[in-house]
Chain A
């Protein structure tokens, strides 16, 4: 039953081609990061020399550390605000300006990044805020909180409220009900939201370029300025590490949420 064997030939081909198209470029990039040749297109045997070269590249390491910090701070902030927004949208049926609120959640999801970046920069200039890592964190938070909201909201909509009601009927105060019943039940979505916010922030070039200030360089800004000068084997190595970090985080998160769901409370079928 678990096999794909029952799919028709056409369907199998579509899936195989689709997945190959999605994964081949990444696989090629990873393989070539272990290439010994300085020419990126000539295979010169396996080697770790570009990873060794990276350890020497102080600027790249600094940019990577800065990016991790920005991503962590903005994802944490976005998770809190985004979860609040999701609770507001699903639990509070009516409040003034709800339509505008919902629009401001959904529109940034599709808004071209150049516009978001430009508008935030102009805001920071208008209020005379010194630009740097702080402004990037603020900018990333406003972008990624909307993604958190959508993820948490989808969990809250399909949420069985009878457990909360049972707890309240038994005299559990609302605050404790939220912490002991509601939050654990939506936790997988909150974690998924945090990780998505983290990876979006780690990934963003356009908004960071607009909102950065002198001396504040994130990893994508650094990679972009190198890539513009052409493909370099060191960049392949940076990208491979980047992919490995994200892949480990995603796999770990999916394992955690699976364990939670297996051991957690019964859900509606």
Chain B
């Protein structure tokens, strides 16, 4: 790995303005050069000259992200405006660079919103989106209800026990997502352990159907995403100053009321981050509903998968993806805002 901060020593001397934080260099520079007026930089910021190493630090990841995150989205957008074709690649028009300006005109006239009309005209897609949003909303609500008591208990645990508890919550997240969903098939299937246990306890008289139901999808989602809810909540609750609650108690505030008026509001940033960290990926979730859910009503991630892999309709799959991104833009912007603030606050 190349070292991102490599700079020749004289380069560092020439550019004291590039790192104001490294205060030791700037005063030396000013005292050595009586004519130097640092105030100039404040009044009229000159274009900052960076060392090659600093440039590389920014440029390498930047180009990577542009090429492999930003550009692919533009391509999805473009293909969502194209038509299916029996060719390789299976869509048209294909942008032909060699045809020059004529090619650009042909290309643009070949684009249409037909795929979006297909999406709007077919109940299948509408129901898929609605189902995804419903499932994501309810499972996020369940995750909050399950995650809060766990995070609260962790924050209340003795200080020395907390790192262990955090590790215990994170550890299942490190084992494979696919395997954890698969583990539930073992438990939920017709003659699986859950039914065996329920029969043995006399709760049900004959095996109930768990697999291929929405209940199974909810169980799988709550199970898979629980650490994502617990950890941000815990981070907020851990910072909570216990003297605030003592003060409330001293002033005669009942414990439940102090909980509602002090604890919950202070946990809100963690709650928001956790909820979005669960909600956004769940809307597009594929593995859980595919393995645990029924086939009669599918979530949008499955619909996209089917359009792409079974129907080989790349343009419609792209249109499904574009609409999904549009649906998620709001939550994503809020999430990014919370994330950026959390980093600054540290």
Interface set of A (CB-CB < 8 Å, partner B): 1-4, 6-8, 10-12, 14-15, 18-19, 21-23, 25-26, 28-29, 32, 40-41, 80-85, 87-88, 91-92, 94-95, 97, 100-115, 118-120, 122-123, 125-126, 138-139, 141-142, 145, 149, 153-154, 157-158, 161, 165, 168-169, 173-175, 177-179, 182-183, 196, 199, 202-203, 205-206, 209-210, 220, 223-224, 227-228, 231, 235-236, 239, 242-243, 246-247, 250, 254
A80 to B176, CA, bound (A): 24
Q: Are A231 and B189 CB-contacts (below 8 A) given A3-B158, A22-B172, A84-B61?
A: yes
* B75:A23 contact, CB within 8 angstroms: no
Kindly list chain B residues whose C-beta atoms are within 8 Å of the C-beta of A95. 58
In the bound complex, CA of A246 to CA of B221 (Å): 22
Chain B nearest CB: distance from A114 CB in Å? 5
Do B72 and A120 have beta carbons less than 8 Å apart? yes
**Does B214 reach chain A (CB closer than 8 Å)?**
no
Is there a chain A Cβ closer than 8 Å to B258's Cβ? no
B271: interface (CB < 8 Å): no
Indicate if B266 sits at the interface (CB-CB under 8 A): no
A7 to chain B: which residues have CB within 8 Å? 153, 156-157
When C-beta atoms are compared, the residue in chain A nearest to B8 turns out to be: A173
A107-B336 in contact (CB<8A): yes
- Asked if B308 is at the interface (CB within 8 A of a chain A CB), the reply is yes
B residues near A (Cβ < 8 Å) are 1, 3-9, 12, 21-25, 48, 50, 53-54, 56-58, 60-62, 64-66, 68-73, 75-76, 79, 89, 146, 149-150, 152-154, 156-158, 160-161, 165, 167-169, 171-172, 174-180, 182-187, 189, 191-193, 196, 223, 226-227, 230, 276-277, 280-281, 283-287, 291, 301, 304-305, 308-309, 314, 317-318, 321, 324-325, 328, 332, 335-336, 339-340, 343, 346
In this complex, the member of B75, B79, B193 whose beta carbon has the largest number of chain A beta carbons within 10 angstroms is B75
Residues from chain A with Cβ under 8 Å of B60 in the complex? 81, 84
- Chain A: which residue is nearest B322 at the CB level? A115
A112-B285, A153-B343 known; 7 new pairs, CB 8 Å cut-off, are A81-B60, A87-B4, A91-B5, A101-B62, A104-B66, A110-B332, A112-B328
Highest count of chain A CB atoms <10 Å: which of B178, B196, B291: B178
Instruction: Give the residues in chain A near B305, CB-CB below 8 Å.
Output: 114
User: Contacts A227-B291, A247-B175 known; A123 to B64 CB distance under 8 Å?
Assistant: no
Partner of A168, one of B22, B64, B317: B22
Cross-chain contact A250 with B53 (CB below 8 angstroms): no
Which B residue's beta carbon lies closest to that of A96?
B58
CA distance A112 to B286 in the complex (A): 9
Given A4-B158, A179-B3, A227-B185, A26–B172 Cβ distance below 8 Å? yes
Give A75 to B223 CA distance when docked, in angstroms.
26
B193 proximity list for chain A (CB < 8 A)? 28, 41
| 23 A-B pairs whose Cβ atoms sit less than 8 Å apart in the complex | A10-B153, A14-B153, A15-B165, A18-B169, A21-B223, A26-B172, A28-B186, A29-B179, A80-B1, A82-B61, A84-B57, A91-B57, A97-B62, A104-B65, A104-B66, A111-B280, A113-B281, A142-B68, A161-B22, A168-B12, A173-B9, A220-B178, A231-B186
In the complex, chain B residues whose CB is within 8 Å of the CB of A122: 72, 75-76, 79, 314, 318
Residues of B within 8 A of A84 (CB): 4, 56-57, 60-61
B residues near A115, Cβ cutoff 8 Å: 76, 284, 304, 321, 324-325
- Assess the A165–B284 pair: CB atoms within 8 A: no
Are the C-beta atoms of B340 and A102 separated by less than 8 Å? yes
Asked if A14 meets B150 with Cβ closer than 8 Å, knowing A41-B193, A178-B5, the reply is yes
| Nearest CB on B from A233, distance (A) | 10
Contact A145 B21 (CB under 8 A): no
Chain A residue with minimal CB distance to B95?
A: A126
Query: Closest residue to A82 on the B side, CB-wise?
Result: B61
What are the residues of chain B within 8 A of A32 when measuring CB–CB? Answer: 186
Contact of B75 among A12, A111, A119, A203 (CB under 8 A): A119
Docked complex Cα distance between A246 and B177 (Å): 12
A249 CB, nearest partner CB in chain B, Å: 8
**Which of A10, A114, A168, A183 counts the most chain B CB atoms within 10 A?**
A114
Let me know if B65 and A26 touch, CB within 8 A.
Answer: no
Q: Is there an interface contact between B169 and A22, defined as CB atoms closer than 8 Å?
A: yes
Indicate if the CB atoms of B54 and A243 lie closer than 8 Å.
no
Q: Is the CB of B346 within 8 A of A154?
A: yes
Of A2, A6, A119, A246, most buried by chain B (CB within 10 Å of CB) is: A119
For A142, what are the chain B residues with a Cβ–Cβ distance below 8 Å? Answer: 64-65, 68-69
CA distance A29 to B62 in the complex (A): 42
In this complex, the member of A14, A97, A142, A227 whose beta carbon has the largest number of chain B beta carbons within 10 angstroms is A14
When the two chains form their complex, are residues B191 and A41 in contact, meaning their CB atoms are under 8 A apart? yes
**A254 partner, pick from B89, B167, B189, beta carbons under 8 A:** B167
Find chain A residues with CB under 8 A from B150 CB.
14-15, 18
Whether A118 lies near B304 (C-beta < 8 A) is: yes
Q: Contacts A110-B280, A246-B176 given: A2-B160 contact, CB under 8 Å? A: yes
